[in-house]
Chain A
Amino acid sequence: MQRAPSKLFEPTQLRAALRDSFVMLSPRRMARNPVMFTCEIGAVLTTIAIALSPGDRLYASVVSVVLWLTVLFASFAEALAEARGRAQTKSLRAARAKTRARRVRDDGAIEEIDGDALRPGDLVRVAAGETIPADGEIVRGVASIDESAITGESAPVVREAGGDRSSVTGGTRVLSDEIDVRVTAEPGGSFLDRMIALVEGAKRQKTPNELALTILLSGLTLAFLLVTVCLEPMARYFDAHLDVPTLVALLVCLIPTTIGALLAAIGIAGMDRALAAKLVAKSGRAVELAGDVDTVLLDKTGTITKGDRQATAFHPAPGVPRELLLDTVLAASEGDDTPEGRSIAILAGKESDAPAMSAGTVVPFSARTRLSGVDLRDGTRLRKGAIDAAERFLREAGGELPEAVRKSAHSVAERGGTPLVVVRDARALGVVELSDVLKDGIAERFARLRRMGLRIVMVTGDNPITAAFIAKAAGVDDFIAEATPEQKLAYIEREQRDGRLVAMMGDGTNDAPALAQADLGVAMNSGTQAAKEAANMVDLESDPTKLIEVVEIGKQLLMTRGALTTFSIANDVAKYFAIVPALFVAALPELAALDVMALGSPRSAILSALIFNALIIPALVPLALRGVQYRPVGANALLRRNLLVYGLGGVVAPFVGIKLLDVLLTALGA
C-alpha cells in the first residue's frame, strides 16, 4: 500500500469516478441523500416541463441541463472520494487474492484446502515463502514475516508464539521458519476485508454527527420546499405566473446542495486521511470520535522519552579525581551491551580517551548481586550498580559508602534519574546519573495538544518521584506511576465518570481491557490479536505518537463538515438577491430596486444563480477531500477564523460569482 496519492486528481481515478457518478444517479442510491434526491426530482420535473411547457423551451432545457449537472457533480464528488479510497486499498486487495491453506487436522494430519474455507479455531501451518491465509494467532514457532502488503514497511518483523507479538494478519508472507496459526477471523471478516469494505464505502454507515447534520439538512430542504411551494399561490394574488423550471431553480438554489453533495465525500475522505496515516479505523464513527477526545493516555517509554535511560552526568565522590571516575566507569562498562551501559561508555568517552586500564574478565549483571562490571587482570574489581547493591559490595570488601556519595545518589533520584554507584574494590568513586531523555520536540507537540484542549496523561512503570520529574519536563498534565493494567483501567473509568472521552494506545494482551474501555482505543499492529480486537483503530506503523494524528484527523473531519455547511447556507443570501427580484419583476416592477447586482435580465439572473450553485460543488471538491486545515489555536480563535472564511466568505463569494456568470451569459445573448 502506498501513501495517499500526492496528486488530488489522478486521471485513472477521475475516469472511474466519472463512470461511477452516472451509476449513482439511480433513485434508490440517491434516496440516501435527501438534499440531492430533492434536486434529482427537480431535474426530472423540469425535463418533463420541457415537453409540456408552451413557452420558452430553450430556457427550460438549460435549467434542466444545469440541474442534471448539479446532481451529477454531487455523485462525482462521492465517486471520486471512493475511487481515491480504492486506490489506497488496491495492494490490500491483491493480498486478499485466493490463497491455499494447509489445515492441521485434530489427528495431526495435514490437508490442503481453500483459504476461504477456513473458520475461526482452525489450525493452519505456514512455512517460509507461503502467504498466511487468515488473521490469527501463532500457537507454535517463530517466524520473520513480511508485512509490507499492509504496512508498506519493507523490513520484515518477527512474530512468535506466546507474548505480545503473536498475532499475524492474513495476506502477509512468512519469510523464514514455519509456524502454526490459530485462525481468529471469519472468512470475509478479516482485518483486511473490513478495512477494504470501510474505505471503499461499501459498508459505510452514517456516523452520529453526520446523521444529525443530515436531519438538519433535510429539515432545511423541507422548509425551502415550503417556501417555494407557497410562492406560487402567493404570486397568484399579484396575478403573476411562475413556471415550473423557475420554481425548481429557486428551490434547488435554496436547499443546501453544496454540503448535501459533499457530505458523503467528506466522510470518506476522513477515512482516507486516516488510512494515509496508516491508521485503520474499524468504523467511520471512530474517526469522528477522535475529534472529541479530551484525555490521551500515552506510554512514557517510546512515546515521551527515547526508549531507554541514558547517562547524563558523572558525580565524583569528594577527593576522587574526575578522570579516575571516568576511566573506571569506562573500564567497568566494557562488555556491557545494555543501552544504559553503551550510553555510559559514549558519555565517558567524550571526556576520556581509550580505557587506560587493561581489560579483564567481564562480570555480567546478575539478579543476585545486581551489579555488573569487570575484574581487571591485576585483580582489581570494578563494579557499578544500584546504591544498596553497591553498599553491600563495599561492606563485603571491608569498605563503606561515604555519606557524600549517598547524598549525591539521593539527589539524582530526586531529579527523576537513576543513580549508579561506581565502586573500585572497597572504595566508592562516585555516581553515574542515568536519566530519561525526552524525545526531540515532544514538549512542543504536547503544547500543541494542550491548545487543542486535550489532557495528556503519561503512563509509566517508574516510581512516582521519577514519574513526576519526567512529567514536569515533558509538560504532561498528569501521570500514572508504577502503572498496572488495572490502574490504567481504573484511571480511564475515573476520567469517563467526569464526562471525558479517553483515548489510549496499547499493544499487549493486558492492555486489551483498557483499550476496550477507552472511548478511542488504538492498537499497534505489532500487538496481540486481543489488543487489536479490543481497539477501535489499528495503527499499522505501530507508532506510539500516532494518537496525536488521530485526534487531528477527527477534528479536521468535523470542521470540514461544519465549515462547508455554513458556507452552503450563507450562499443563499446572494442567490435570493438574484432570483427573487427576477421572479416578480414582471408583476411588481418596483422590485427591480432589489437587484443589487444589476444583472442582465431575469432569465440570466436565475440561470446565473443556478449555474453558480452547480459549479460551486466541483470547485469545493478539493477542499472536501483535503479537509479544512486544523490549527491548534483554541476553539474561539478557530470559530472566528472559520466564520470569517466560510461564513462571511460564503455570503460574499456568490455575489461575485453570480455577477461574473451573468456578464458571461448576457454576452452570450441569453
Chain B
Amino acid sequence: MTDTLLVFALLALTAALSIPVASLLGRALDTTGDRLDAVLDRVLGPRRFQDLRGYLGALFAFNTILFGVSWFVFAFQGSLPLNPDSIGGMPPDLAFHTASSFTTNTNLQHYSGEVALSCLSQILGVGWLQFTSAASGIACLAALARGLRGERHDGRLTLGDFHRDVARVADDARRRRGRRDPRRQRPADRARPRRGDRRDQAARHQRRRLLRSQLDPRMTRRPGDARVIFAAMTALFLLFSIPATQLELAPNAAVAGLDVAAGPNLEGKELRFGEAVGSFWAVATTSTSNGSVAAMHDSLQLGGMFLSCIYGGVGVGMINMFLYVILAVFLAGTMVGRTPEYLGRKVEAREMTLATLALLLPPLLILGGTAIFAATDLGASTTSNPGPHGFSQILYEMSSAAANNGSGFEGLGDDTVPWNVVTGLWMILGRYLPIVLPLAIAWNLGGKRLVPETSGTLRTNTFVFGAFLVGSVLLLGALLFLPAAVLGPVAEHLRLG
C-alpha cells in the first residue's frame, strides 16, 4: 500500500516539477542578448538562421565528430593516457556499437563499464556525450517548434542556430543536473528520481510550443495543446505502469506452493525499493528511453518501448509523439469534414509521405531485426533461455536499440559481431531518421499559410482529441507489435500464469 502511494507521489511530484523546469529550459533556448549569447557570439561567430538543410547539416556534422572521437577513444584507449588499469582497446565492432550508443544518447552497453573502459573513455567517450547527445535531441525539438511556429528571419523560414541551441541546452543542463555516469548502472545508484529528469524533459518539450513567437499572435501560446499532449503521455504511461505493477505485486507463479509464495513477487527486485517501485521504474525506464534499471528486467514481462513516444527520450520523445499527433490530426481532421490541419496549417500529401516513412521505421528495424536474429543462429544461439523468454531477449534488444532506449534484457550474449554491428546501425537509423523526417514535416508546415480557427476547425486542445491520440498510439502500437509481443512476453506470462 505504502509502495503504491510512493509510486503515485513520485509521479505527481515529477509532473508538478516538470512545468517550471520546462518553462526554464524553454526560456533559456529562446533567450538572446544575455551574457551567454555574447560568449557564443565570440566563440561561434554571429547568430545563424539555418534552414532545414543547414540545421540538419550542422546536426550531422556535430554528431559525426562525437561519433568519430568516441570511436577513436574506445578503440585505442589501450594506448591513450588516463588508463591506470591498463585496459586494452575495444574491438572495432564493439567500439562501433559503443560509440553509436552514446552518440545517439541510447547508452546501450555490450560491455561492462568497470572492466572495459579507461578513465579517458569514461570522460571523453561517455561523460561528454551524455551532455552533447542529449543536447542535440533537445536542440532538434526546439527546431521542430520553430518550424511549426513558422519562425522567419528576413522573411525566410528558419529553424534556428543548431550550435547555439546545443550550447544553451548543455549550459542549462550543466547548471541544473550535475554528473551522469552510466558506469554506475547498478540499481542502487539509479533509483534517484532520474526519471524526473526525463519527465521534465518531456514537459520541456511541451514548453517549446509555448515559446513566444514574434510572428503571429495566434501562434503565441498553445498551453492547451501542450497540456493535452502531456496528459496523453501520462495516460499512456499509467496504462502501461499500473498493470505491470499489479502483475508484479501478485505472488510469483514459479514459487507457488512454497513458503515464500504468500508475498509479492520479489524475484529480481532491488529489495530497498521492492516490487512496486521496481516495476514502476521498469515501465518508466522503458517508456522514457532512459535505460537505467532498478530491477533486473530478466524477471519482468513487459515491453512498452516499441512506441518510444510516451515521454520518450531527451528531446526526441516529443518529436516521436509529434508523428502520432500528425497522424491523429489527419484522421480526426477529415472526420470533422475539413481537410486536416494542425496548428493552423494544412497536413497534405507531402507531410503524410514523410510521416508514413517515419512510421514504417520502427517495425522495419524491430520486427525485421528480430525476424532475422530469431530465425538464424545470429540470435538464437545467444539467448540464455529457450522458448518465449529467449525470444523476448532478442525482441527486447532490437527494440532497445531501435528506440534508442538503452536498457537491456539480461541474459543475452550480445557482445558478438552481428549484434554489435546490427544494433549499432539500428541505433543510428533509429536516432536520426525520426529526427530528420519530423523536422522536414515541421519545416513544410511552417512554410504554409496559416488558416484561422473557426468552430468548424478540429481543436487539438480538447479531451476528445487527447483520447483519440491515446487510442491511435495504442492501436497502431498494438497492431504493429502485437504478434511479436504475443510470441514473447505474452506467451511467457500465460505459460507461467
Pick from B125-133, B154-162, B402-410, B459-467 the stretch touching chain A: B459-467
Q: A216-B356, A590-B495, A634-B455 are in contact. Are A640 and B464 (CB under 8 A)?
A: yes
Pick from A5-13, A197-205, A228-236, A612-620 the stretch touching chain B: A228-236
| B 248-281 to A, binary, CB cutoff 8 A, 1 in contact else 0 | 0000000000000000000000000000000000
Q: Does B244 contact A (CB under 8 A)?
A: no
- Cβ distance B377 to chain A, nearest Cβ, rounded Å: 11
Contact assessment for A588 and B363 in the assembled complex, using a CB-CB cutoff below 8 Å: no
- Cβ distance B350 to chain A, nearest Cβ, rounded Å: 8
Contact assessment for B482 and A576 in the assembled complex, using a CB-CB cutoff below 8 Å: yes
Q: Does B32 contact A (CB under 8 A)?
A: no
Q: Does A556 contact B (CB under 8 A)?
A: yes
Contact assessment for B334 and A233 in the assembled complex, using a CB-CB cutoff below 8 Å: no
Which residues on the A side are within 8 Å of B2 (C-beta)? none
Q: Does A559 contact B (CB under 8 A)?
A: yes
Partner of B360, one of A226, A230, A451, A591: A226
Q: Does A227 contact B (CB under 8 A)?
A: yes
Which residues on the A side are within 8 Å of B468 (C-beta)? 639, 643, 647
Q: Does A464 contact B (CB under 8 A)?
A: no
Pick from B14-22, B48-56, B483-491 the stretch touching chain A: B483-491
Closest chain A residue to B379 by CB distance?
A237
| A 190-216 to B, binary, CB cutoff 8 A, 1 in contact else 0 | 000000000000000000110111011
Q: Does A455 contact B (CB under 8 A)?
A: yes
Q: How long is the Cα–Cα vector from A561 to B331 in the complex, in angstroms?
A: 9
Which residues on the A side are within 8 Å of B390 (C-beta)? 237
Closest chain A residue to B496 by CB distance?
A590
Interface size class of B (residues with CB under 8 A): 35 or more
- Cβ distance B307 to chain A, nearest Cβ, rounded Å: 14
Q: Does B430 contact A (CB under 8 A)?
A: no
Contact assessment for B331 and A452 in the assembled complex, using a CB-CB cutoff below 8 Å: no
Contact assessment for A570 and B475 in the assembled complex, using a CB-CB cutoff below 8 Å: yes
Which residues B431-470 have CB closer than 8 A to chain A? 449-452, 454-459, 462, 464-465, 467-468
Partner of A572, one of B338, B451, B479: B479
Q: How long is the Cα–Cα vector from A211 to B350 in the complex, in angstroms?
A: 10
- Cβ distance B354 to chain A, nearest Cβ, rounded Å: 10
Q: A216-B330, A580-B482 are in contact. Are A208 and B339 (CB under 8 A)?
A: yes
Which residues on the B side are within 8 Å of A213 (C-beta)? 330, 334, 352
Pick from A20-28, A108-116, A287-295, A411-419 the stretch touching chain B: A287-295
Which residues on the A side are within 8 Å of B482 (C-beta)? 576, 580
Q: A573-B475, A590-B491 are in contact. Are A562 and B451 (CB under 8 A)?
A: no
Q: How long is the Cα–Cα vector from A31 to B283 in the complex, in angstroms?
A: 44
Partner of A234, one of B387, B391, B464: B391
Contact assessment for B487 and A238 in the assembled complex, using a CB-CB cutoff below 8 Å: yes
Closest chain A residue to B218 by CB distance?
A499
Which residues on the B side are within 8 Å of A639 (C-beta)? 332, 335-336, 458, 464-465, 468
Which residues on the B side are within 8 Å of A453 (C-beta)? 454-457
Q: A219-B357, A234-B375, A238-B391 are in contact. Are A561 and B454 (CB under 8 A)?
A: no
Q: Does A630 contact B (CB under 8 A)?
A: yes
| A 473-510 to B, binary, CB cutoff 8 A, 1 in contact else 0 | 00000000000000000000000001111000000000
Which residues B392-422 have CB closer than 8 A to chain A? none
Which residues A263-313 have CB closer than 8 A to chain B? 288, 291-292, 294
Q: Does B494 contact A (CB under 8 A)?
A: yes
Q: Does A408 contact B (CB under 8 A)?
A: no
Q: Does A454 contact B (CB under 8 A)?
A: yes
Q: How long is the Cα–Cα vector from A218 to B349 in the complex, in angstroms?
A: 12
Q: Does A94 contact B (CB under 8 A)?
A: no
Number of interface residues of A (CB under 8 A): 75
Q: How long is the Cα–Cα vector from A462 to B327 in the complex, in angstroms?
A: 48
Q: How long is the Cα–Cα vector from A638 to B465 in the complex, in angstroms?
A: 12
Closest chain B residue to A635 by CB distance?
B336
Q: How long is the Cα–Cα vector from A552 to B212 in the complex, in angstroms?
A: 37
Pick from B165-173, B202-210, B235-243, B364-372 the stretch touching chain A: B364-372
Q: How long is the Cα–Cα vector from A288 to B475 in the complex, in angstroms?
A: 28
Q: Does A569 contact B (CB under 8 A)?
A: yes
Q: How long is the Cα–Cα vector from A211 to B480 in the complex, in angstroms?
A: 23
Q: Does B353 contact A (CB under 8 A)?
A: yes
Which residues on the B side are within 8 Å of A566 (C-beta)? 331, 335
Which residues on the A side are within 8 Å of B487 (C-beta)? 234-235, 237-238, 584, 588
Q: How long is the Cα–Cα vector from A50 to B429 in the complex, in angstroms?
A: 40
Contact assessment for B371 and A234 in the assembled complex, using a CB-CB cutoff below 8 Å: yes
Q: Does A555 contact B (CB under 8 A)?
A: yes
Which residues on the A side are within 8 Å of B344 (C-beta)? 499
Q: Does A594 contact B (CB under 8 A)?
A: yes
Q: Does A154 contact B (CB under 8 A)?
A: no
Which residues on the B side are within 8 Å of A642 (C-beta)? 335-336
- Cβ distance A213 to chain B, nearest Cβ, rounded Å: 7
Which residues on the A side are within 8 Å of B375 (C-beta)? 233-234, 236-237
- Cβ distance B429 to chain A, nearest Cβ, rounded Å: 15
Q: How long is the Cα–Cα vector from A294 to B454 in the complex, in angstroms?
A: 8
Q: Does A358 contact B (CB under 8 A)?
A: no
Q: A223-B480, A294-B451, A639-B465 are in contact. Are A238 and B456 (CB under 8 A)?
A: no
Contact assessment for A558 and B334 in the assembled complex, using a CB-CB cutoff below 8 Å: yes
Q: How long is the Cα–Cα vector from A404 to B363 in the complex, in angstroms?
A: 85
Which residues on the A side are within 8 Å of B46 (C-beta)? none
Q: Does A668 contact B (CB under 8 A)?
A: no
Q: Which of B353, B367, B456 has the most CB of A within 10 A?
A: B456
| B 336-364 to A, binary, CB cutoff 8 A, 1 in contact else 0 | 11111000100111011101110110011
Q: A212-B330, A230-B368 are in contact. Are A591 and B494 (CB under 8 A)?
A: yes
Q: Which of B364, B458, B487 has the most CB of A within 10 A?
A: B487
Which residues A617-667 have CB closer than 8 A to chain B? 630, 634-636, 638-640, 642-643, 646-647
Q: Does A469 contact B (CB under 8 A)?
A: no
Q: How long is the Cα–Cα vector from A212 to B368 in the complex, in angstroms?
A: 26
Q: How long is the Cα–Cα vector from A9 to B440 in the complex, in angstroms?
A: 46
Q: Does A450 contact B (CB under 8 A)?
A: yes
Closest chain B residue to A641 by CB distance?
B335
Q: How long is the Cα–Cα vector from A234 to B369 in the complex, in angstroms?
A: 10
Q: Does B333 contact A (CB under 8 A)?
A: yes
Contact assessment for B451 and A234 in the assembled complex, using a CB-CB cutoff below 8 Å: no
Which residues B283-306 have CB closer than 8 A to chain A? none
Contact assessment for B456 and A559 in the assembled complex, using a CB-CB cutoff below 8 Å: no
Q: How long is the Cα–Cα vector from A229 to B330 in the complex, in angstroms?
A: 28
Which residues on the A side are within 8 Å of B456 (C-beta)? 452-454, 555, 634-635
Closest chain A residue to B359 by CB distance?
A219
Which residues on the A side are within 8 Å of B491 (C-beta)? 584, 588, 590-591
Contact assessment for B451 and A216 in the assembled complex, using a CB-CB cutoff below 8 Å: no
Closest chain A residue to B394 by CB distance?
A237
Contact assessment for B349 and A233 in the assembled complex, using a CB-CB cutoff below 8 Å: no
Q: How long is the Cα–Cα vector from A452 to B455 in the complex, in angstroms?
A: 6
| B 108-143 to A, binary, CB cutoff 8 A, 1 in contact else 0 | 000000000000000000000000000000000000
Q: A234-B370, A237-B374, A591-B491 are in contact. Are A500 and B391 (CB under 8 A)?
A: no
Which residues on the B side are within 8 Å of A593 (C-beta)? 494
Closest chain A residue to B388 by CB distance?
A588
Q: Does A132 contact B (CB under 8 A)?
A: no
| A 547-567 to B, binary, CB cutoff 8 A, 1 in contact else 0 | 000000011101101110110
Contact assessment for A643 and B372 in the assembled complex, using a CB-CB cutoff below 8 Å: no
Q: A219-B359, A288-B339 are in contact. Are A565 and B331 (CB under 8 A)?
A: yes
Q: Which of B344, B351, B371, B478 has the most CB of A within 10 A?
A: B371
Q: List 13 A-B contacts (CB under 8 A).
A: A208-B348, A209-B340, A213-B334, A213-B352, A450-B455, A452-B337, A554-B337, A569-B479, A580-B482, A580-B483, A591-B486, A635-B458, A643-B468
Binding site for A on B (CB under 8 A): 327, 330-340, 344, 347-349, 351-353, 355-357, 359-360, 363-364, 367-368, 370-372, 374-376, 380, 387-388, 390-391, 449-452, 454-459, 462, 464-465, 467-468, 471, 475, 478-480, 482-484, 486-487, 490-491, 494-495
A-B pairs, 6 with minimum CB distance: A453-B456, A562-B334, A555-B337, A219-B356, A453-B454, A233-B375
